[in-house]
Structure 1
Amino acid sequence: MKKFRSATIGVSILIVAILVGCGNQQNSTNNTGAANTANTSTTTSKNETSLNGGKTVVVGGQNYSGKENLKKYKDIADKNPKNAQDLINAAISSRMNGDEAGAISYYKKAIQADPKSGLAYNNLGNIYYRDKNDAKTALPYYKKATEVQPSYSYGWLNLAEAQASAGDTATAKSTVAQGLKIVKKSDPVYKMLQSEQATLNKSK
């Protein structure tokens, strides 16, 4: 059972029900907290989506949807191919506008620009797991997110959920336990990890 959690990109967001999980605070490449809806670069590095009554709601999504916004973010990214955040913004806008192939391409470029961006790896995994229901393809990206940026809490949460979805409950339990040792208790995702642990412990 997927709960749509993900990190996302700063305030930005990912996609309404498109994105990934509940991206929230302290999880961007810059480790910035959740933000409001307006800025682009910095804000966009905070989170993609939030969970609201079982539905994924894009935080600041209106800033990424629409042809004009898509063109704007793509133009900025194409002019700054070494700026990971600009590439991530273009990826978010692409996904918001239904262009998954474009989103995947921009996330991969963001990873090349910043190999330590847990956010880029996480959001790439989200496309496969949340959008395409393909947990196995998503797993390596979530795993990499936890390796390159261990403090990126959504990476641990999404990795555990994908592992459980793929039928590997034992590994998912181990992932959650490891995540709880690394993620700060003050991080909102810490409680989500505890909830996931409780759910997994009820599984056989």
Structure 2
Amino acid sequence: MSAAVARLAQLRPGVRGYTAADLHTLPEVGPRYELIDGSIVMSPSATSAHNMIARWIAQLIENANPGGDHVVGTDQSVTIDDHNEPRPDIVVLPAAYIDDSPFPVDGVQLVVEVVLPTSALRDTEIKRVLYARAGVPYYWVVVPDPDADTIALAELVLEDGAYRYATHYTTEVFRTAQPWPVEVDLTALAARTARARRPSAAS
């Protein structure tokens, strides 16, 4: 039995489930943990392809950063309330929280989730409601398809407490002005991923 499983067995969730305090007692090494509506979600390690795509997109957002009050973080826990602490792949957060982990959702401008096969429902539906409820103004969902060698991106914008699609799963060049002007060439990123996946075919 792993240390995390042993610790989870010792915890006694309340009426609304586990709390952020419960989450913070789990070992920091091992699987990735998130707290979603009182449930502790344990995700397997992401693939290198997933991490590369997240890193490349984070770098594009960072390179476009005009500076000032916000910075770009990756794979960091965000405290929404006592029963919700997700861990988005990319987040644009206030610079005031640069040394904090986890940090509060207040002032977060953008979250980006790169979808894994095991996280599709959570990223496209559950977290969509969660981030909207928390008041995060912009949410990107990135969906790699290794079979088709494509990367799709949906941009959602918060309006009246719910997200609407500003961009609906494009696989071409994505441009936006929020949280600042940035361009993501999804076709180029997909080709780059395909070359990394099949280097012999590219030579």
* Structure ranking higher on relative contact order (CA contacts 8 Å, 6+ apart): 1
More strand by share: 2
More helix by share: 1
Q: Give the structure-2-normalised TM-score.
A: 0.30
Q: Give the structure-1-normalised TM-score.
A: 0.30
